[in-house]
Amino acid sequence: MNPPTRQYKYKKKVTYPQHNGHSTWRPKWGRVTYVSHFISENSISQTCLGVTFVRWSAEMRRNSVTFLKYVVVAIIFLALCPLAIKFLMGGKRIEEEYVDAGRGMPFAPRVQRDSDVVQMNQKSTERKKIDWHDYKRIAEEAAKTGPGEQGSAVSLTSEEEKQKDELYKVNGFNAYASDKISLHRSLQDIRHPDCKSKKYWNHLPNVSIVVPFHNEHWTTLLRLVYSVIERAPRELLHEVILVDDFSTKKFLKGELDEYVAKHFNNVKVVHAEKREGLIRTRLLGAKHATGEVLLFLDSHVEANVNYLPPLLDPIAEDYRTVVCPFIDVIDFENFAYRAQDEGARGAFDWEFFYKRLPLLPEDLEHPAEPFRSPVMAGGLFAISTKWFWELGGYDPGLDIWGGEQYELSFKLWQCGGKMVDAPCSRIGHIYRKFAPFPNPGVGDFVGRNYKRVAEVWMDEYAQFLYDRRPHYKNIDAGDLTEQKAVRERLKCKSFKWFMEEVAFDLPKVYPPVEPPPIAWGEIRNTAADLCIDTKFKGGDQNFGVEPCVKDGKGGGEQEFEFSWHKDIRPKKRTVCFDVSTSVQKAPVILFNCHGMGGNQRWKINPRTKQLYHPISAQCLDCDIGNREIFMNPCDETKDTQKWKVENVNETAIIHEWGLPR
Ligand SMILES: [Mn+2]
């Protein structure tokens, strides 16, 4: 395998956001881990009504000819009756009863919309864009008040605070707070204003929603079910499939089956017979699905207003388009619903951590339009059933969780499809405070998954992954014949094509081979003869100056790199010097490196030896007595602002100093 040379072509020039002023700009691009499972199908029986009254016994005796006529008429009547009922009800009656009226929020019949007219008039072939909003429901929801309504935070009394711990421990979020909120709670419409007038095709495919879960909490699971049903046009929602990955909570067995059978007629529960892990659980759900589109969701989400048409519309245009919603945040403590950002494109670094790239200028011009995204976050996406199975679903050799979002993303792009994020579809997700379940996997199953993905899809670029995780070389990835056959059968393009056409700006932020730092070693304050020491501290912590290790005085963490990202980080670590205010004596802390400048951008002044922070326009200063460091207005005459970095690439520093910002 020959690793590609380090010459990257960029199809488009991309500008990265510069952060104005001194805002606390700290993206916390988190990594979402999903744990999840299957099976005995709970089939929901639908009773067919057909009662006919037969009142012909008297005539029968009198006239056998008349009797025969009655028989013929009765047979015809009986044969046509079910058809007539079906015709008259337009197949809708049953669907209107999705949601039980006894729960305090009857599922009111919807106002007739354009879409209904289209559905009833089956002969209509006119294709047009229509408004799919359910204004009656929107108005009803806007009027709701109560704990957590309108997506607000719920507060606990001091008495309740004492009782929340037990549920917190087993869920990783404040499930006690969840129990205080209605299963039908309303959410604030936080979509971009342009979404409110956006129209979608009148003919959209229907959807099977597949929700894998393991030990999900009762009210978060059911709130998900109600939210996806109540906020979807009923003709588009074919079914919801809850897939239980061998949960141990008792109520997720018979009690859930009974509740679902009693309250819904288009929700199925499938129970796994052993712990399967997220990937096989999703596959199991997909195998049970009969809708035209699969919408995979995590088990603790709430869908926001009109979430479904924006996900289906791009698929209606091309069945090989995969669509992801915007993922909002439901607070793990108080269940407040909020945006995490206004969108970004999915990506990865070369250790396969999920990362995000900024939107392109053309994406920013149309904030309600779907934009292309190289890689999905993983948990929430819609894909046509046809395309999913043409791609072979997920590689069934992937174990538990990890790498599946890369596998599917790479192959859908490389094999002729595309993926977009739909800004007008918003779904809130509870990011847990901590993982409450033990990992069901054995050994480095994630590494094995990554290797399967790399070997099948990444060609020579796999080497970049192995360079960072050399032990992958020794992992047995198992049999890859079937996966390679998929790639062959669909005549899929190379990973080089993917990197150049789809993730073209990724190497700029996450280069396969890291360029060398432009300065490195100890950072010594010349006045104090003390060195910056981060003492192996973690994120969000401050640090100061200490006697220098190189002088044989004490031991800490004093080796730094002024990286090509223009940030300063302890050697071989990915936390960076970060300053988020521009006040006097502004604190410097360690924060996860985001590689995008802003609060973490530094310059070395080659003449004055000051460490300059362009965004706050201040310089690094220190208090020798207290051994503290902080930011202050730049003053060339102050010795406490003069720093000597041990090794410096002079040419690079001078060049760098001359660049704007
Ligand atoms: Mn989750």
Percent of the chain whose predicted confidence (pLDDT) is above 70: 81
Query: Is the CB of residue 617 less than 8 Å from the CB of residue 631?
Result: no
Please tell me the distance between residue 33's alpha carbon and the centre of ligand 1 in angstroms.
7
Please tell me the distance between residue 431's alpha carbon and the centre of ligand 1 in angstroms.
6
Q: Rounded distance, CA 355 to CA 370, Å?
A: 19
Helix (H, G, I), strand (E, B) or coil at 591: strand
Closest listed residue to residue 422, CA positions, set 495, 315, 530: 315
Is residue 4 very low, low, confident or very high in pLDDT (cuts 50, 70, 90)? very low
- Residues 79-98 have pLDDT tens digits of 665 555 444 444 333 333 23
Tokens of 374: 């190289």
Tokens of 578: 């970060």
Closest listed residue to residue 136, CA positions, set 223, 240, 239, 234: 234
- State the average pLDDT for the chain: 85
Please tell me the distance between residue 266's alpha carbon and the centre of ligand 1 in angstroms.
23
Q: Per-residue pLDDT for 2 more than 80?
A: no
- Residues 585-634 have pLDDT tens digits of 999 999 988 888 899 999 999 999 999 999 999 999 999 999 999 999 99
Please tell me the distance between residue 429's alpha carbon and the centre of ligand 1 in angstroms.
6
Please tell me the distance between residue 214's alpha carbon and the centre of ligand 1 in angstroms.
11
Please tell me the distance between residue 387's alpha carbon and the centre of ligand 1 in angstroms.
25
Please tell me the distance between residue 463's alpha carbon and the centre of ligand 1 in angstroms.
31
The residue with greater pLDDT, 477 or 443, is 477
Phi, psi of 351 (to 5 degrees): -110, 5
Residue reference for tokens 């997909």: 286
Query: Is the CB of residue 436 less than 8 Å from the CB of residue 170?
Result: yes
Please tell me the distance between residue 358's alpha carbon and the centre of ligand 1 in angstroms.
23
- Residues 378-435 have pLDDT tens digits of 889 999 999 999 999 999 999 999 999 999 999 999 999 999 999 999 999 999 999 8
Is residue 31 very low, low, confident or very high in pLDDT (cuts 50, 70, 90)? very low
Please tell me the distance between residue 371's alpha carbon and the centre of ligand 1 in angstroms.
24
- Residues 167-215 have pLDDT tens digits of 999 999 999 999 999 999 999 999 999 999 999 999 999 999 999 999 9
Please tell me the distance between residue 560's alpha carbon and the centre of ligand 1 in angstroms.
36
Please tell me the distance between residue 401's alpha carbon and the centre of ligand 1 in angstroms.
12
Phi, psi of 242 (to 5 degrees): -95, 120
Please tell me the distance between residue 68's alpha carbon and the centre of ligand 1 in angstroms.
66
Phi, psi of 486 (to 5 degrees): -60, -45
Please tell me the distance between residue 380's alpha carbon and the centre of ligand 1 in angstroms.
10
Tokens of 430: 């509870």
Is residue 75 very low, low, confident or very high in pLDDT (cuts 50, 70, 90)? low
Q: What is the pLDDT of residue 439?
A: 78
Residue 214 exposure: Cα atoms within 13 Å on the Cβ side: 27
Please tell me the distance between residue 368's alpha carbon and the centre of ligand 1 in angstroms.
26
Please tell me the distance between residue 146's alpha carbon and the centre of ligand 1 in angstroms.
25
Please tell me the distance between residue 379's alpha carbon and the centre of ligand 1 in angstroms.
7
Q: Per-residue pLDDT for 114 more than 50?
A: no
Please tell me the distance between residue 35's alpha carbon and the centre of ligand 1 in angstroms.
8
DSSP string covering 216-281: --HHHHHHHHHHHHHTS-GGGEEEEEEEE-S---GGGTHHHHHHHHHH-SSEEEEE-SS---HHHH
Is residue 63 very low, low, confident or very high in pLDDT (cuts 50, 70, 90)? low
Please tell me the distance between residue 142's alpha carbon and the centre of ligand 1 in angstroms.
27
Please tell me the distance between residue 267's alpha carbon and the centre of ligand 1 in angstroms.
20
Neighbouring residues of the ion ligand 1, judged by CB less than 5 Å: 298
Query: Is the CB of residue 308 less than 8 Å from the CB of residue 233?
Result: yes
- The 3 state secondary structure assigned to 60-109 is HHHCHHHHHHHHHHHHHHHHHHHHHHHHHHCCCHHHHCCCCHHHCCCCCC
Mean pLDDT over residues 356-378, rounded?
A: 96
Please tell me the distance between residue 36's alpha carbon and the centre of ligand 1 in angstroms.
9
Please tell me the distance between residue 110's alpha carbon and the centre of ligand 1 in angstroms.
32
- Residues 467-511 have pLDDT tens digits of 989 999 899 999 999 999 999 999 999 999 999 999 999 998 899
> Burial level of 236, CB count in 10 A (0-12/13-18/19+)?
buried
